[in-house]
Amino acid sequence: MARVREFLELVRAPNSLMMGAAVAVALAVAGRWDLTVIGDLIIWAPLAGVMVAALVMITNDIVDLPVDRVNAPWRPLPSGSITIQGALILALAASWTGLAFSAMAGVVTVISFIAAGGLGVAYNFHLKRTGLPGNITVALLVASPFIYASVALGRVDELALIFSVMIFLSVLAREVVKGIPDVEGDARVGVKTLAVVLGPRAASRVAGALYMVAVAASLLPPARGLVNELYTIPVILLDAVMVFESLKLMARTPSREEALRHKDRVLLYMMIALVALALGSMPGVEVIG
């Protein structure tokens, strides 16, 4: 059981499972909950999503081992509970298992798995240090399930497209905020985050503005009659919270502690929005026109 807990911590199980859930919801939304359209993609594609997220998380910890020895010595690799060789074996296992799941789902899923996995590993080894391009990469990866679903089903779904934009903007803003407290260290090692290039104050305002645009995008589905009240009510409440978060960012630069709490809160907000999207896109409930 101890080994299982260490493995789950290494792959950041909540994050990996959330990726699988996002793929499932994206397919359901793009396919309008019609299993004759979605087929067995609803089984194999989410499993592949979990594996690609696990692969990215494992390689992230391998690359960040020197930093984690100082900042997070309790994690599996710096604590020695899992060796680098063991982590590499687990990364290979996630790769091959994910490819097997992808193959069951079809060529598009295989290509998507390779592209997402390759981009995630490239981020860990290089793009993380590029600042804004790295932030955009993370945002694209998190939004990718909704892009994938439209491609895999051969249909550009308006609701899935809108939600992918919302997720992209929210994650990009969250990544910008994460770079604000580390501006001195990032500048010293040449990481060109927005906080380094424009200054923490400007970066905080950019993040707030991105959240505001995401809030505006979240209102499009009910305005377009694409969702029911199970989406609209919780998302409007979330929007009010996000407007408050945005105004705080625009008013003053967050401290390190505030930025850490902020990123955790935003992750929770996105999980709630994902559930709202799933419930709000279900057929059989009268939509708001």
Domain co-membership, 64 together with 116:
yes
Q: Are residues 32 and 149 in the same domain?
A: yes
Per-residue pLDDT tens digits for 62-82: 988 887 887 678 889 999 889
Mean pLDDT, range 218-231, rounded to an integer: 95
Sign of CA dihedral 71, 77, 80, 84: negative
Per-residue pLDDT at 289 exceeds 60:
no
Residues 175 and 134 in one domain: no
d(CA 94, CA 90): 6
Both 71 and 185 in a single domain?
no
* Span 235-278, pLDDT tens digits: 999 999 999 999 999 998 888 788 888 988 998 999 999 999 99
Same structural domain for residues 189 and 248?
yes
**Are 237 and 137 found together in one domain?**
no
What is the model's pLDDT at position 284? 64
pLDDT band at 209 (very low <50, low <70, confident <90, very high): very high
Same domain, yes or no: 136 and 189? no
Contact 60, 124 (CB under 8 A): yes
For the stretch 85-129, pLDDT in tens is 999 999 999 999 999 999 999 999 999 999 999 999 999 998 988
- Say whether both 97 and 125 belong to one domain: yes
For residue 1, pLDDT over 90 is answered with no
Residues 287 and 188 in one domain: yes
pLDDT band at 286 (very low <50, low <70, confident <90, very high): low
Q: Band the pLDDT of 7: cuts 50, 70, 90.
A: confident
Query: Which among 101, 135, 156 is the end of a domain?
Result: 156
Residue ranges making up the domain that contains 244: 157-289
